[in-house]
Amino acid sequence: MGTLRAGEVDFVARRANEADYVQVCETMVDPATRERELSPLRAITDAFPKCVITLHRYGLDTTSDGIKVLGAIDWLLGR
């Protein structure tokens, strides 16, 4: 877990000079939840991949700022 002023990132996977940032939540239907999950990722200024894994995608795919929203089952199956 990484901590920023904008909140915390659930998982940071590092290898060599790269990183992946991952948030995990049940659903992002509620605008407040969506903002809570996305704002820490938006605060990261590097170009490494950022994603949110959720049980209920509700039509979300990739945000306008490049954060991927993945269904948990799709992520587990490597889709």
Banded model confidence at residue 8, pLDDT cuts 50, 70, 90: very high
Closest CA to 23 of 59, 47, 58, 43: 43
Four-residue CA torsion sign, 30, 33, 38, 39: positive
Residue 74 has pLDDT above 80, yes or no: yes
The alpha carbon of 66 is separated from its chain's Cα centroid by a whole number of angstroms, namely 10
Q: What is the mean pLDDT of the chain?
A: 89
Banded model confidence at residue 58, pLDDT cuts 50, 70, 90: confident
- Could you tell me what percent of the chain has a pLDDT over 90? 72
Token pair in block for residue 9: 């990132």
The pTM (predicted TM-score) of the whole model is: 0.85
What whole-number distance in Å separates Cα of residue 24 and Cα of residue 9?
9
The domains of the chain are located at: 2-76
